A and B are shown apart, each in its own frame.
Chain A
Amino acid sequence: MNDDINTEASSLDDSAQSQRLLLESAHRLFGDHCDKALLDSAERGEFAAELASKLAEYGFHRLAERESGFALADVFALLKVAGYHALPVPLAEWMLANRWLDAEADDAVLTSMGQRRESAVVDVPWGQQAQACLAVTQDGVLFKTEAGTWTSSKNSAGEPYDALHDSELVAVGCSEQPYELLALSRCAMAVGAMQRLLEMVVEQVTMREQFGRPLARFQVIQHAVAGVAAEVAVAGKAHDGALAFLNTDRQRDEIAIAKARIGEATGIVTDTVHQLFGAMGFTHEHILHHYTRRLWVWREDFGNEQYWQQVLGSSLCARGADQVWPFLATVR
């Protein structure tokens, strides 16, 4: 596991230490559960109930609550670990729902979240297994849902992304921007998944031999893996940058940078990694596609590259050419 995930964030020694412990225990728990068999059964529609109850036992589902003692940066660091293990539980939705519903919620129940599209709520991860469901809109309004009719649907990673119809939607006050933070959750998960892919591909080209030598001995392979490493590194930095601007007037611009750039990195990384794994990586038996297919879902979720590029570009253009450099130069 890359140091980058383990030693992330906070400047205060105490909070850095508590984040380190949090991420270590998450790695152990997720690593123990998220094997090929679990990912396959999740894809057959069987919810990982035992793992979900473990998450609750560890208190991960309450981590984003304001009283948890953890910061949002810790929440997103945990989501990187979730992405690294392709965790088949909607942890991002669960944590953020408990944050936004605050005391109102019975936080022990699994809450998922989807996007409002006209009268329906779509793309709700594990919607029919969740006991509660929230809905968000692109302009950042949050709704609670009531009972309704569920229809089953799957995303291209084979995970349930269900739809809820005929439910009454009740707007819930929220002091944050749900759509933006959900977009950032996908950035975090994608960074974790891409770090896993980098490790996998380094191992693959080192072990796999063709023409009597390891693939890693071929310069063309070395350069392809270097390209993956570069995209993974830039994705990690883009994500960290957005964290530095949470709850500032630049949050939206910075999340736009992260979602747009990480979406681009996703295309390059998944393409190269599949090429390097050859036909083996194209089989269902291989674990590779559990990561690459999720990455393709996450880059579309809550606004793809084009959406966020427009958000950012419009914001920059509105400032005018003479303000472009002053804006860029104030990056943290």
Chain B
Amino acid sequence: MLSFDPATLPESSEQLRPVIREFIATNLPAGHRRNSDFTSGHSPEFSSALGAAGWLGMTIPERYGGGGRGFFDRYVVTEELLAAGAPVGAHWISDRQTAPLLLGHGTQAQREFYLPLICAGTCYFSIGMSEPNAGSDLAAIRTTAERVDGGWLVNGTKLWTTGAHLNHYLMTLVRTSPPSENRHAGMSQLIIDLNAQGVHVRPIDSMTGNSEFNEVVFTDVLVPDSALVGVEGNGWQQVTSELGYERSGPERFLSTFRVFLELVRLVGHNPQGDQAAAVGRLASHLLSLRRMSLSVAGMLQDGKMPNVEAALVKDLGNRFEKLSLEIARLAAPIDCDREVFDQVLTDSLLLSPSFSLRGGTSEILRGMIARGLGLR
């Protein structure tokens, strides 16, 4: 059965709130269109200011340029950034995923090179996992890395690669051995420079009208030996060991938070009964989810591997994000100035199909939960 340990943010983490709020108020780029979705703003200027202020790589040891802090400190800062609708897209993946991965599995040289840059907010990673014929079925990837003198020769195509047209590196899952009976064997992770020769990045227009994701084609890309992360053939284990971090964070239930906030502004201090109920319903969901998310953060802090619990938080959180738009749009008054509300509602609605696709589809997550319950 699943277990969600009790967790409370320590007072020392709470004390970061006024500081980060002040930082956001001062550094939010002029004219930035606020949105709580973590993909909806790519600002190297904002990210590097965050890094300079010590708000990135917070859990990374100080000797690599990090903050040497705990998960809860990072939790407070990330949720404050999302709630404020700050542009976090540039550094998001490298800070959340790449830095802990390199700390756990990277070579000493990789740690010393990449971690200080990530912590400074000047080095951005994308994740190269999905492919044209490997979506949810990740083990079906075909991108190959063939051993050659001095490194690896990479060929293949990655798809739906968020931010690859803007970021510097791709943490790429490749086949270093052909598929065998054990479908999860023979995969490895390579750091590929997105500006390297033979790498072709093609932005893909999405239904939002922007290009959030890309197709990345590798044609005989020579990747040095030093780019292998962790152990050759251990890629699957490395990827799945990070799922707890990836799936239970505040970005899994706060994506539509600005819509909620603007709804409260629209209905005012004395709302009608049904409008108050809509606001209350949203808050009851959001706060319950936040407690579960904090619980997973606490378990990660304690060195546990709550992958199933994290999957559950993401599934519930994504469902809430979609539900929240339905509740908010029907509760919003009509005869008033709705400019900001309509803007965040539209932005969020257009992004909403991606909520339960990115980072593991609902179907994959529910399969994991079912396995956790002993059903498969």
Which residues does A use to contact B, with CB under 8 Å?
2-4, 9, 202, 205-206, 216-217, 219, 221-223, 225-227, 229-230, 233-234, 236-238, 240-241, 244, 256-258, 260-261, 264, 305-306, 308-314, 316-318, 320-321, 324-325, 328-332
Contacts and interface: CB of A to CB of B under 8 A. Distances in A.
Nearest to B288: A238
7 contacts: A4-B3, A234-B289, A238-B288, A241-B288, A308-B280, A313-B278, A329-B79
Contacts of B141: none
Contacts of A244: 8
> Helix, strand, loop or mixed for chain B's interface?
helix
B251 interface: no
A2 B1 contact: yes
B363 A223 contact: yes
A238 B290 contact: no
Given A225-B370, A226-B366, A317 B264 contact: yes
Contacts of A316: 264, 279-280, 283
Contact of B288 (A222, A234, A305, A321): A234
B276 interface: yes
A230 B315 contact: yes
A219 B358 CA distance: 21
B273 interface: yes
Which 8 pairs between the two chains have the least Cβ-Cβ distance?
A: A313-B280, A309-B280, A313-B276, A312-B280, A222-B370, A313-B279, A226-B369, A321-B265
A205 B375 contact: yes
A10 B42 CA distance: 44
Contacts of B287: 238, 241, 257, 328, 331
Contacts, number: 169
A332 B8 contact: yes
Contact of B291 (A237, A305, A310): A237
B373 A226 contact: yes
Contacts of B294: 331
B305 to A, nearest CB: 17
B315 A240 contact: no
B276 A229 contact: no
Given A260-B280, A312-B280, A316-B283, 13 more contacts: A3-B1, A202-B374, A206-B374, A226-B315, A229-B369, A236-B4, A241-B287, A261-B284, A310-B280, A312-B283, A313-B280, A324-B264, A324-B283
A321 B264 contact: yes
A4 B2 CA distance: 9
Contacts of B286: 328
Contacts of B246: none
A183 to B, nearest CB: 13
A233 B2 contact: yes
Contact of A260 (B281, B315, B373): B281
Contacts of B80: 329
B204 interface: no
A310 B277 contact: yes
Given A230-B316, A236-B4, A309-B277, A257 B267 contact: no
Given A222-B366, A227-B366, A260-B284, A241 B291 contact: yes
Contacts of A325: 83-84, 257, 261
A329 B315 CA distance: 21
B290 A331 contact: yes
Contacts of A311: 280
B101 interface: no
Contacts of B291: 237-238, 240-241, 331
Contacts of A310: 273, 276-277, 280
Contacts of A258: 284
Contact of B276 (A230, A236, A317): A317
A126 to B, nearest CB: 31
B260 interface: yes
Interface in B235-274: 257, 260-262, 264-265, 267-271, 273
Nearest to B362: A223
A314 B271 contact: yes
Contacts of B147: none
B281 A309 contact: yes
Contacts of A330: 14
Interface string B280-315: 110111111111101100000000000001001001
A257 B285 CA distance: 8
Contacts of A221: 375
B366 A317 contact: no
Interface in B122-178: none
Contacts of B84: 325
Nearest to B82: A325
Nearest to A216: B375
B200 interface: no
A219 B292 contact: no
A321 B277 contact: no
B289 A223 contact: no
B250 to A, nearest CB: 10
Contacts of B268: 317
**B9, B271, B284, most chain A CB atoms within 10 A:** B284
